[in-house]
């Protein structure tokens, strides 16, 4: 006889395609396979801070969720419960609400908390685990920058959205003989830019891991023009920056718990190109379009496998672990081992060599060409 359990699930950080699929998988596996109860914490961990924001989840509640983007539970990338902003006498102070979360967790008769999210969410998950809450983490981010997992759900859909946009921009770029710049998400990791640029046939791909040289970019554009290519497609990651320069941000972080808001490198690049050569440039910033809409089949399947495996970990009471993809197998790693690390593009790695082998410019001297 499998012990009856009561599971809470939350989705934190940025939204992405596949979150609803993972919620669906947890609820259906818990009910059909184990006869467990599931409740959802709305807007990240808000439900464990204010218990009126907890919602019971039945199989009927997750019907039809597989192709739906976003998260029915809501999410937030603000309000870290370990450093939570509250108004005191007209001023904002930060308090640690972990004791309140633990108290509510016990009063709700919960047995385990599943936290779906990226590096920030999993850092909070680990802290709560250390304080005594049985936690299971599920890796999620469109940026694909979480350590110890080969892929996160949401990434494949974000890449496909970017590739579709690049395909469409090719025709207008060719018609008007322009340089088209596509700025994509990814924060400090260039995975979306690399995959989308390679899949979309970009001429230049700029990623945060390889500071770019403007002279080499200009040389590439002129080289294409001299060979009869009257347009160029540039894919630039939002965290990319020029050699010897700094990242372009819309808003700087106000504290260690805040995030700087990246963005603007596409327009900066456009101005720099037009200063140097006589060519029209246009910029498309895909932004949150990459996060929304229907998940592709890969993300639906991966999210479902993650959710089911999380329940298997609960059955074994293997807490304090993160559900990940290794090769073709779903596995888990200790949350502690993933803290403070991001999976970055290797500037000397196989993926980069593939791009440079087919003469895609990465903003640096290409030493692979004959």
**Which residue numbers belong to the known binding site?**
14, 78-79, 118-121, 141-143, 178, 185-187, 238, 282, 288-291
Question: What token pair was written down for 67?
Answer: 């192709």
How many angstroms separate the CA atoms of 163 and 232, rounded? 15
Core vs surface per residue 199-229: b (16+ CB within 10 A) or e: bbebbbbbbbbbbbbbebbbebbeebbeeee
Which residue numbers belong to the known binding site for Mg(2+)?
119
Whether residue 181 contacts residue 283, with contact meaning beta carbons closer than 8 Å, is answered with: yes
How many angstroms separate the CA atoms of 316 and 33, rounded? 14
Backbone angles phi, psi at 335, to 5 degrees: -55, -40
Q: Please count the helices (runs of H) and the strands (runs of E) in the chain.
A: 11, 15
Residue 122 vs residues 136, 140, 145, 168, 272: alpha-carbon distances, Å: 9, 10, 13, 37, 39
Question: What token pair was written down for 115?
Answer: 């936290």
Catalytic: 99?
no
Which residue numbers belong to the known binding site for substrate?
141-143, 178, 185-187, 238, 282, 288-291
Q: Of 217, 211, 223, 230, which Cα lies nearest the Cα of 274?
A: 217
Question: What token pair was written down for 65?
Answer: 């969720």
Catalytic residue among 15, 37, 43, 143: 143
Q: Of 41, 298, 307, 347, which Cα lies nearest the Cα of 155?
A: 298
Beta bridge partners of 87: 92
Catalytic residues: 143
């Amino acid at each position: 006889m499998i012990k009856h359990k009561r599971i809470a699930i939350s989705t934190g950080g940025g939204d992405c395609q596949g979150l609803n699929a993972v919620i669906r998988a947890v609820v259906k596996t818990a009910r059909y396979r184990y006869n467990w109860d599931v409740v959802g914490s709305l807007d990240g961990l808000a439900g464990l801070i204010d218990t009126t924001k907890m919602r019971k989840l039945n199989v009927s509640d997750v019907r039809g969720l597989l192709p739906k983007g976003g998260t029915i539970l809501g999410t937030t990338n603000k309000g870290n419960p370990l450093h939570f902003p509250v108004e005191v006498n007209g001023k904002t102070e930060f308090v640690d609400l972990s004791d309140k979360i633990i108290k509510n967790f016990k009063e709700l008769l919960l047995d385990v908390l599943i936290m779906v999210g990226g590096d920030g969410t999993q850092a909070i998950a680990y802290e709560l685990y250390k304080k005594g809450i049985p936690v299971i983490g599920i890796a999620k981010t469109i940026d694909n920058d979480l350590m110890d997992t080969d892929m996160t759900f949401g990434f494949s859909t974000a890449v496909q959205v970017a590739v579709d946009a690049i395909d469409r921009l090719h025709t207008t770029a060719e018609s008007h003989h322009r340089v088209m710049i596509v700025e994509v998400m990814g924060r400090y990791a260039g995975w979306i830019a690399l995959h989308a640029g390679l899949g979309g046939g970009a001429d230049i791909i700029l990623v945060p891991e390889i500071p770019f040289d403007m002279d080499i970019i200009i040389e590439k554009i002129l080289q294409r023009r001299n060979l009869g290519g009257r347009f160029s497609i540039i894919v630039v990651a939002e965290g990319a920056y020029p050699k010897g320069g700094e990242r372009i941000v819309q808003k700087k972080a106000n504290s260690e718990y805040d995030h700087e808001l990246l963005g603007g490198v596409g327009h900066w690049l456009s101005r720099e190109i037009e200063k140097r050569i006589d060519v029209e440039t246009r910029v498309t910033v895909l932004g949150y379009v990459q996060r929304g809409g229907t998940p592709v089949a890969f993300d639906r399947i991966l999210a479902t496998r993650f959710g089911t495996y999380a329940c298997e970990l609960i059955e074994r009471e293997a807490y304090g672990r993160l559900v990940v993809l290794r090769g073709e197998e779903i596995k888990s790693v200790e949350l502690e081992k993933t803290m403070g690390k991001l999976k970055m593009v290797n500037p000397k790695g196989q993926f980069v060599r593939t791009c440079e082998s087919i003469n895609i410019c990465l903003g640096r001297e290409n030493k692979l060409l004959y």
